[in-house]
Amino acid sequence: MIPENVAEFVQSPIFLSIGTRDETLRPAHAWVTGAVVAPDRETVTCFVVEERARKILSHLEANGPVAMGAGSPTHEAYQLKGRYLSSRPADDQEGAYLESRRNGWLALALRCGYPEQIARPLILGFRHQPAVAITFRVEEVFLQTPGPDAGKKIG
Amino acid sequence: MGMLPDEIKPAMEGVIPSHVVTCSRDGTPNVTTISQVYYVDPDHVALSYQFFNKTVKNIRENPHALASVISPETLEGWDLEIEYERSETSGPVFDAMDMRIEAIASITGMKGIFKLKAADIYRVKSVRKNVDERMPLAEMDG
C-alpha cells in the first residue's frame, strides 16, 4: 500500500514521469501530466499524452513492469514501482483535472524559485490532451529525495 | 558526423533537470531525476555517479539507458538511447562535471549532499526530438 503522505504527494502538482522497458530490456520514458491514487492506495492511474503513450503501452502490454517517478522542486522525491493493469482514453473530467493541475504545477515551480521565463513555457508547453489513462498496481515505493536515505524502500 | 546535433547542447547545461530510465537484469525499470546529462563529444554523454543507487547498479547489470533532456532555450525535449561504456574518476570530463555539480548544489541548496564519485560515460545510440510531447513556443504564444 502506498503510504498516505506519498499518495498525497503524487497527486499534488509536481513533476511526474514514467519508465518502462521492451523485451530486450531497453528502457523508454514519458512525462506524466497527472496521477490519481485509488482510495485503497493499491493502484495509481497516471496520464500520458496519447502520442507519447504508444511506445510505453506497447512495452506494458508486452511485459508489464512500470516505474513512476515523482519529484518536487524542493527535491522531495519518490518512486513507485509495480505492474501494468489497464489503459483507456482519459475522459472529459480527467482532461479538466489535467488542465487545472498544470496551473498548480506552475504556481509551485514559481514559489520554489524557478525563473518565470523558463517555468511558464516549460510547464504550460507540455501537451496534456488527448491523454491516455494508464493504471498500474503499486508493489514497491522508494524514497528518492537526495541524501543518505535515498533508495530506501518505504512501502 | 556524430549522433548529437549542436542544437541539443543547451539541453545539457543542467538548467532543466533531466530524467534517466534504466532497467535491472530482472526487467524492473527505474526512473530518476538527475541534475545534468553532460555533453562529452558528438557520440558520448556522461552521467554523474554521486551515490551508489539503483541507476548505477542497473547499468552495471544492463548497459542500456534512456536519457530525456529539455533545452532551456527552445524548450524542446529530446530522448537519447545510450549505452554505458566506462567510468572516469579523474581527467577533464570528471573535473568539469565536478565543478558543475558543485555549482548546481550551491544554487539548489544541496551543497554537501551532491558529490561526484565518477563520470559515467555512455555512447549515444540514437537521438529523437520529442515533437509530440511539447508545444512549440510559437504555438504557445499564438
Does residue B108 register a pLDDT over 80?
A: no
Domains and CATH numbers, chain B: 6-131 (2.30.110.10)
Residue A11 CB contacts under 8 Å (≥ 6 apart), including other chains: A35, A36, A37
Q: Which of A16, A18, A25 to mutate: most B Cβ within 10 Å?
A: A25
Lowest mean pLDDT among A10-14, A74-78, A121-125, B103-107: B103-107
* Averaged pLDDT for residues B95-120: 80
A140: closest chain B residue by CA: B28
Q: What is the pLDDT confidence band of residue B115, given thresholds at 50, 70 and 90?
A: confident
Looking at the complex, report in whole angstroms how far the Cα of residue B7 sits from the nearest Cα belonging to chain A.
17
Please report the pLDDT score of residue B138 as a whole number.
62
> Are the Cβ atoms of A125 and B16 closer than 8 angstroms?
no
A20 touches chain B (CB under 8 A): yes
Is the pLDDT reported for residue B142 higher than 60? no
CATH of region A4-143: 2.30.110.10
- The answer to whether the CB atoms of A19 and B29 lie below 8 A apart is yes
Average pLDDT over residues B104-124: 80
**Interface-testing mutation among A24, A29, A55, with chain B (most B C-beta atoms within 10 A):** A29
Maximum mean pLDDT: which of A11-15, B81-85, B94-98, B134-138: B81-85
For B53, which residue in chain A has the nearest alpha carbon? A151
Of A125, A14, A130, A118, the residue nearest A68 (C-alpha): A14
- ipTM value greater than 0.90: yes
pLDDT in tens, B40-59: 999 999 998 877 688 889 99
Q: What is the CA radius of gyration of chain A?
A: 15
Q: Give pLDDT tens digits for A36-87.
A: 999 999 999 999 999 899 999 999 999 999 999 999 888 899 999 999 999 9
Q: What is the mean pLDDT of residues B22-29?
A: 97
Task: Measure in Å the smallest separation between the Cα of A40 and chain B Cα atoms.
Answer: 24
Cell representation of residue A67: 516505474
> What would the DSSP string read from start to end of A63-126?
S-EEEEEEE-TTS-EEEEEEEEEEEEE--HHHHHHHHHHHHHHHHHHHHTT--HHHHHHHHHTB
Nearest to A27 among B21, B108, B140 (CB): B21
